[in-house]
Amino acid sequence: GQQLNQSPQSMFIQEGEDVSMNCTSSSIFNTWLWYKQDPGEGPVLLIALYKAGELTSNGRLTAQFGITRKDSFLNISASIPSDVGIYFCAGRRIIQGAQKLVFGQGTRLTINP
């Protein structure tokens, strides 16, 4: 099935470093979302972006909705151990009155203390 192109697939960083990941698509989305998934749990929404060009922050997280509506990035500043997990981008569009989410393959973040 369709998935977004998310990179990098994995990251190994030191605690305190900044992190950047991005997502691209060949098609346009109305909304871009970033989720975090911990082992054995479902994805949890971190940030939602609703307008092309929008830059939104949530604590140490910053995300942008690309101007072409085909891409988005997520930055995490000053990483801490609880940031470990898998991050997914998701594009949202409305098809026949129903919202559909298309997810990227995920970025697995590992932090060395």
Partner 1 sequence: GAGVSQSPRYKVAKRGQDVALRCDPISGHVSLFWYQQALGQGPEFLTYFQNEAQLDKSGLPSDRFFAERPEGSVSTLKIQRTQQEDSAVYLCASSRLAGGGVDTDTQYFGPGTRLTVL
Q: Which of 74, 76, 90, 111 binds partner 1 (CB under 8 A)?
A: 90
8 Å CB contact between 88 and 46: no
Residue 66 binds to partner 1 (criterion: CB under 8 A): no
Taking a C-beta distance cutoff of 8 angstroms, is the pair 32, 23 a contact? yes
Question: Considering only residues 1, 59, 81, 113, which one is a binding residue for partner 1 as defined by CB under 8 A?
Answer: 1
Please state, in angstroms and rounded to a whole number, the distance separating the CA atoms of residues 83 and 67. Answer: 28
CB of 57 to partner 1, least distance (A): 17
Show Cβ contacts of residue 106 under 8 Å, excluding neighbours closer than 6 positions. 6, 9, 37, 86, 87, 88
Minimal distance, residue 9 CB to partner 1, in Å: 9
Q: Which residues make up the interface to partner 1 (CB under 8 A)?
A: 1, 3-4, 6, 30-31, 40-45, 48, 50, 88, 90, 94-106
